[in-house]
Structure 1
Amino acid sequence: MKLRCWIRDLGLGARFVLAGGPADRLRGLLTAVGAGLGVALLLLATALPHALSARDQRGLARQETSRSARPMPASDRTLLIADVDTRFRESGIRGRLLEPEGANSPLPPGLSSFPAPGEMAVSPALERLLRSPGARLLRERLPYHVTGTIAEAGLVGPDELAYYAGTRQLSQKERGSNGFVSRIDHFGAVPDARRGDPVLLLLTLLVVVALLTPIGVFVAAAVRFGGERRDRRLAALRLVGADAHTARRIAAGESLVGALLGLVLGAGLFVLGRRLAGHVAPFGVSVFPSDLVPAPLLAALVAVAVPGAAVGVTVLALRRVTAEPLGVVRSVRPAGRRLWWRLLLPAAGFVLLAPELGRGDGQSFHRSYVVTASVLVLLGVTALLPWAVDRFVGRLGGGPLSWQLAVRRLQSGTDSAGRGAAGITVAVAGAIALQMLFAAVDADYVKSTGDDLSRAQMVVMLPPGTSLSEGSARLARVRGVRGTDALYSAAVGDSARDPGVSAELTVGSCAALREVARLDSCRDGDVFAAPDPSAGSAATTLGRAGTLYIDSSYGSYTGLQIPFRMPAGGAKRASARPDPAGSLHGGILATPGAVPGAASAALQGTVYVRLDEAVPDARDEVRTAAAALGPLADAVTMVATRESARYASIRTALFIGAALVSALIGAGLLVSQLEQLQDRGPLLAFLRALGTPRRTLGLSLLWQTALPVAVGLLPAAATGLALGAVLQRMSGGPVRADWPALCVLGGIGASLALLVTVLSVPVLLRLVRAEGLRTE
């Protein structure tokens, strides 16, 4: 019998929305839009794990690997491959040179056949880039004829820039020991099954929590859109004989319809966004539409949770409203909200975290209750907000007319205003805690490279065999280059085979050698011995030898050795100093006139390039010039710091999610504002008819939106700082706050309120016209 009553009353509530007047249908639409936006983001959140996993799997499947740890002999099942990655402006390009050694050579994923020498297969994104008018330098750098396209199986995302080019030169340049060319027999790598970094795991989970919690709060608020008009209708139902329980069930039915429509709308928005996913790449991360597949269990949970939240939130919200036959008892001052139970959620969260404060090693971050505690703390902000808004606006008094209109509106009912601000407060609290944790662990994942950017801004690795003068001379003539210093290196020993003493040989002009050593005097033909603390006295010993042997097999001393006769009297003394990349070149230093011409085949060149930063595309000019020296030449931009790839991906995910959640919160505030304007339309029109300036009404709208947000930012900041401090203690880092960054986070929340007000003004101006006084 009770179930039949629920079904009957829920159905009656649904008919009020679907068969009611235009105002009822509009409120149902607003609820559906709000819930639909939340559902779309929730479905996206359930699909992202599969999308990111698919990207990782394709990345692993195309990794070139060998089944043997030893150098592999050539066979009809092997492939020579060279890494020729490059960059064009700010975009990275993945490149590989391929030379199959037999009919059964492994084919890279995404290719149907090997490109012939001089031809290449490219990703669709790279093909579009090559055809663009501004890609002249890139076309010159990749002088291959495009004959094919890399399929989805060979790309991590639709916007990835990648190519495979065919060649017959790798067998002549094979050097397995230094990574220029590798011989492989298959593609595909096994994912690392080791336990992940607990700090990075916590960062990942907290990013998910900090992004999903505001969405859940928003959906719970969206199902209450139009609540004030609904409550007045409940009073009319009480007048015709409905009891309080029946009225609540009817109200739940109205919310349920909006939530179900929101599910349909959210699913539609997700499908539309899924189709557009291949055309957008926020923060450089793109996914194929086919990868965005919601996890069935999580999608089912969303489908059940949203309608369930609609019914539960509506019934709980009506406990503070008494719908009586003669009206809604809300005009009298309600009993004050109690604070004690609102503090239970954050208190429980901090109690769970308290036992781990003394450890300070980050090893407890993998424990599930750390995430549970963080969720409780963030949800506690939402519970505190209504109490804080009530206490604050209840003490406000006189002021300008716009201020008084807004304050009186908030004092008559803060629930609707608080619902809009709840998403902002919980998002700001989570962002502050995450920002503090990122700041605490940043030094562990962002390392200094040692590059001295005042001495050079790029470094070009030249392939073996490049002339001692050709590389630096050609690069020095490139547009945007102010100067170059070329250094060439190889191993040198005191005998042709199995040397007793060996060291590094560095060849360069006097100016270039002064970049790696302190020289008293220098002229072409000189040789220097620069002791390296890590190599002991090898440089001093070799500096006194009559003849040295330059290793042409690059460290193994198994190939033809090139004799190098030392000058009479031995090598001069020098002291090593860090080069522009921060490395020491101890050992034997020689000018070009001192080494035999045959040594060029054994020397590997490194050219440090000084750029004129005012020249557009100077770095791409250097990359293109380096590629002209040989396909294996590698031009790298020097940077002061380098960060962990996984750490960077987590931070990128946070930026993407924060942008989406901010848009959702702004849309929720706007929908809530429009709903309140629709309910107050006749009153606003009446005030305008009495002579109230439009400017005053617009300012009252701003105060009405901004005050709850401003009040909510205070507990949000306090909670975020407290949670962030606890997480910093657990990570072992110092407890500190980046106040400028925290001010920016608060400013984002305030700017959302201002933006929503500006977007609401056109609706306000339409409602205050004389036609707004009409009623039915």
Structure 2
Amino acid sequence: MNNLLALTWRLLKGGGRRGLLGSSLTVAAVAVSTALLLFAVAINFAFAGRAERGAWRNPEQATEVPAAAARAIEATRAEFTGDRMITTVHVAVLSPGVRPPAGITRLPSPGEVVMSPGLAELTAADPSFGRRFPQKRTGTIGDEALVHPGELVAVVGHAPGDDIMTAKWKGDYRLGVSARRIAGFTGHPSSDAEAYRALAAVASVLMVVPLLVFGGAAARLTVARRDRRLASLRLVGATPGQVVAMTVAEAIITAFAGAMLGLLLYTVAIPPLTQVRISGGAWFASDIWPGALPIGAVLLAVPLLVGLSAVVGLRRVVVSPLGVARRETPPAMRFLRVIALLACLAAVPAFGAGVSVTFVVVVLSLAFLAVNLVGPWVVGMIGRVTARTAKRPARLLAGRRLVDDPRSAWRTVSGVALTGFVAGFIGLLTPSTSLAIENDPMTAWLLQDIRTGTTIVLVVSFLVAIVSAGITAASSVLDRRQTYALLRLAGTDLEVLDKARRLETLIPLTVMGGGSIVTGMFCAAPFASLGMSATGVVTLLVCAALGFAGVIAAGALSRPLLRSVTTDPAPRPD
């Protein structure tokens, strides 16, 4: 084993300048995947943290705990000042010794009030506003009892017989809850908090699946060069186990370096991420930092995913090393991939009111993965049609390339295609700005949060798509540098090669991008009771335009690399 590791390390170091560039592309791809994957995981912990910190305002009633006697009375009121909400919690203690919520050292007595730092600053700066709380201020609410930084919260002490402690509140539950007898301040998240957590779970799926696909694809960057090298080792006597071990070792070394770089990138991004306002406020840094266990799980899972993906791609090297060395076209993929996608989409009509979030998340995840599974099969079919109908050399070269290696061509456009799925799903559900009411601030607040969330998901998806397109395009040039050199040696013009390279990206992108958008819209249809809004149409159009522009720009960045590898057309051994 030590000899294998030593050989792997020597091959990794001895790959020359272009070998180092290929490894650097893998590290960059894994770094971006890891950073964004950490963000996708962190948002679930962030909303969970908010829900837990606000649970004390929604405690269990004494009637819900038959074995416990009522020890306090609590009522909440919410009002808006501009676009900021002030939450006032009225408390009357029935028996001494009741434990206050975390973040509050002592419950206020009648005529006393404790305030959050944000509310204390507001009342100090505006005396007229401060008259709303004439009670004696006796303390400050800590972060453990605040949903977000700067939240405006006051806890006011009362006697049990005060009017506010006996009045029945008949307004919107989101703006207040009538007085109720409670056994303590151990509560459960509100329905709004649970709704945000459900939306966060769906958003995570829309971000995580493309990231996992991109991370897995990172293991197959410069795959042709590696496969030819491993096939040569098989032909000179290396066993399948040795080939697998070397591949896993190489993949994990580069992936671990990329994962650590991704952790660094995410750490640097935390301060700006905390300023994204959702549900009326920003975030504590501890919300965006998911904790040692989730971070460790991501840092372990990413290299394992990359290693597993690399091993899965070794079948031809292990079974037919001579075919790899001779660069034979692999057999076509099976229609079973399409059946898998159709089976996932068959479950979509079951979506609707009352369906569990877990079911929606599972089906969306499977549909996402099925789109990625069917992508190479469709690309291969597109290649056959393109080659048969080609009337110019560039189009013929593009078609033949798509047929010869549809998986590699799919990796270049998969990011944008999967982003099309996200855009189609979100576009159908994006609420129109005209639905916001100036008389219902909570509704306007929720709609704004949905728009903010969809924007974040799309930004993450597009970042993955464009980075994926750029890295895989450069990797493809490195993989085929000997082929390009031979074509140049045979007299093929550089412009023809460059046009063929562009066509093998744009043709499948047009077909798969459009198909992914339609698939995403189909998955969102059961939830879209009001139909697509104008905002949704604009979202789709912008997504399509940015997707095409991003892939074209990313492909253009690899043109100098194409010129470089064809400058000296004499073929060189790897």
| TM-score normalised by length of structure 1 | 0.55
SS at match of 2:443: strand
Correspondence 1:39 to 2:29:
no
- 2:443 aligns with 642
For the Cα contact (< 8 Å) 2:344–2:366, is it kept in 1?
yes
Residue deviations 1:170-227 (CA, integer Å, cap 9, x gap) = x999797487999999995622699999x99976654443332222211111111121
Summarize the Cα distance change of 1:81–1:366 in structure 2 as closer, same or farther, 3 Å threshold.
Answer: closer
Correspondence 1:191 to 2:188:
yes
- 2:556 aligns with 761
**Aligned partners of 1:715, 1:390: CA distance in 2, in Å?**
15
Task: State which of 404, 420, 431 in structure 2 corresponds to 1:428.
Answer: 420
- 1:155 aligns with 146
For the Cα contact (< 8 Å) 1:244–1:323, is it kept in 2?
no
Query: What is the CA-CA distance between 1:723 and the residue it aligns to?
Result: 3.6
For the Cα contact (< 8 Å) 2:489–2:569, is it kept in 1?
no
**Aligned partners of 1:125, 1:317: CA distance in 2, in Å?**
59
- 1:713 aligns with 513
Query: What is the CA-CA distance between 1:388 and the residue it aligns to?
Result: 0.8
**Aligned partners of 1:711, 1:251: CA distance in 2, in Å?**
34
Runs of 5+ consecutive residues of structure 2 not aligned to the other structure? 65-70, 132-136, 170-175
For the Cα contact (< 8 Å) 2:58–2:190, is it kept in 1?
no
Query: What is the CA-CA distance between 1:260 and the residue it aligns to?
Result: 2.3
Task: State which of 35, 44, 51 in structure 2 corresponds to 1:49.
Answer: 44
Residue deviations 1:46-104 (CA, integer Å, cap 9, x gap) = 333332122122223367999899xxxxxxx999999684444xx42536599999x99
Correspondence 1:668 to 2:468:
yes
For the Cα contact (< 8 Å) 1:386–1:418, is it kept in 2?
yes
Summarize the Cα distance change of 1:759–1:720 in structure 2 as closer, same or farther, 3 Å threshold.
Answer: closer
Identity within the alignment, %: 22
Q: How does 1:407-486 map to 2 (within 5 A)?
A: 407=399, 409-433=401-425, 436=428, 438=429
RMSD over aligned Cα atoms: 5.6
SS at match of 2:303: helix
- 1:362 aligns with 353
Q: Return the letter of the residue paired with 1:315.
A: V
**Aligned partners of 1:223, 1:109: CA distance in 2, in Å?**
46
- 1:517 aligns with none
Query: What is the CA-CA distance between 1:258 and the residue it aligns to?
Result: 2.1
Task: State which of 302, 315, 319 in structure 1 corresponds to 2:311.
Answer: 315
Summarize the Cα distance change of 1:336–1:16 in structure 2 as closer, same or farther, 3 Å threshold.
Answer: same
Correspondence 1:745 to 2:546:
no
Q: How does 1:581-660 map to 2 (within 5 A)?
A: 637-638=438-439, 642=443, 653-660=453-460
**Aligned partners of 2:344, 2:177: CA distance in 1, in Å?**
54
- 2:173 aligns with none
Query: What is the CA-CA distance between 1:639 and the residue it aligns to?
Result: 5.1
Correspondence 1:263 to 2:259:
yes
SS at match of 1:46: helix
**Aligned partners of 2:130, 2:35: CA distance in 1, in Å?**
45
For the Cα contact (< 8 Å) 1:238–1:247, is it kept in 2?
yes
**Aligned partners of 2:292, 2:442: CA distance in 1, in Å?**
42
Query: What is the CA-CA distance between 1:418 and the residue it aligns to?
Result: 0.5
SS at match of 1:773: coil
Query: What is the CA-CA distance between 1:389 and the residue it aligns to?
Result: 0.7
**Aligned partners of 2:337, 2:117: CA distance in 1, in Å?**
55
**Aligned partners of 1:326, 1:311: CA distance in 2, in Å?**
23
For the Cα contact (< 8 Å) 1:239–1:326, is it kept in 2?
no
SS at match of 1:94: strand
SS at match of 1:395: helix
Summarize the Cα distance change of 1:195–1:55 in structure 2 as closer, same or farther, 3 Å threshold.
Answer: closer
Correspondence 1:221 to 2:231:
no
For the Cα contact (< 8 Å) 2:333–2:377, is it kept in 1?
yes
SS at match of 2:332: coil
Runs of 5+ consecutive residues of structure 1 not aligned to the other structure? 70-76, 132-137, 452-636
| TM-score normalised by length of structure 2 | 0.72
**Aligned partners of 1:212, 1:664: CA distance in 2, in Å?**
10
**Aligned partners of 1:14, 1:425: CA distance in 2, in Å?**
35
**Aligned partners of 1:670, 1:705: CA distance in 2, in Å?**
11
Q: Return the letter of the residue paired with 2:468.
A: G
Report the structure, 1 or 2, having the larger helix content. Answer: 2
**Aligned partners of 1:130, 1:15: CA distance in 2, in Å?**
68
SS at match of 2:84: strand
Q: Report the count of equivalent residues.
A: 544
**Aligned partners of 2:530, 2:187: CA distance in 1, in Å?**
39
Q: How does 1:526-541 map to 2 (within 5 A)?
A: none
**Aligned partners of 1:773, 1:157: CA distance in 2, in Å?**
60
